[in-house]
Structure 1
Amino acid sequence: AIARALLLNPRLLILDDSTSSVDLVTEYKIQKALDRLMKGRTSFVIAQRISTVVNADQILVLDKGRLVAKGQHEELLETSEIYADIYHSQLVGDVEVDESALTQGEAQ
């Protein structure tokens, strides 16, 4: 679905939990490709995984359908308890992944 959307070269791109069902390595590769493809276009990324949005220009945090915080990743870690809790539950406890192992397939 992502590839089909990008073939149309839309000015507005909406991705709804597009990497939720893939493993970490695949998510990393998709995210790297999307980072390049989203340049120059307005993009809305709806995600449950923090790793999907950490590089976003603006992150909106919703709780029970209400906007409770907005900002960039580093700012939200400091100012939003909900965002920080999600971040720590998803990423900090994970085993560190060697980025060279993730990018190994890109060089081939």
Structure 2
Amino acid sequence: MILDYIGSSLGYEDGKFESAKFLRPASSFYHAAEDCQFIVDSENHAVRKADLGRRTLQTVYPVFNKSNDIWSWITDKLGMRKEATPTIQDFHADSMPLPWHLIQILEDTLLVVDRR
């Protein structure tokens, strides 16, 4: 029985379940304490986190750097900053060429197995 679905089409996009996009999700792990599903997004070279309560998807690896300039700091403090949606081109894909499986090895540690 299918209870829910995550993702609307092929691609790379965080957000609500209905609009999020994957490119060949390969493995997942349910984390009961956080009520979330960690998902290996193989062709996007990423690990994604699906918050089942909020019904949102976010990328947890790779972590994208925020800008460190003074204007970004000021707009952050004023609550006016808008983050640009990260794209898969923003990092070097060789860091995780073909992630394929995900295993919890400690309470707060996941091991990602690469196919290569």
- What TM-score, normalized by structure 2, do the two folds share? 0.26
Select the structure of larger CA radius of gyration.
2
Q: Structure 1 or 2: larger helix share?
A: 1
Greater percentage in strand: 2
TM-score between both structures, scaled by the size of structure 1:
0.27
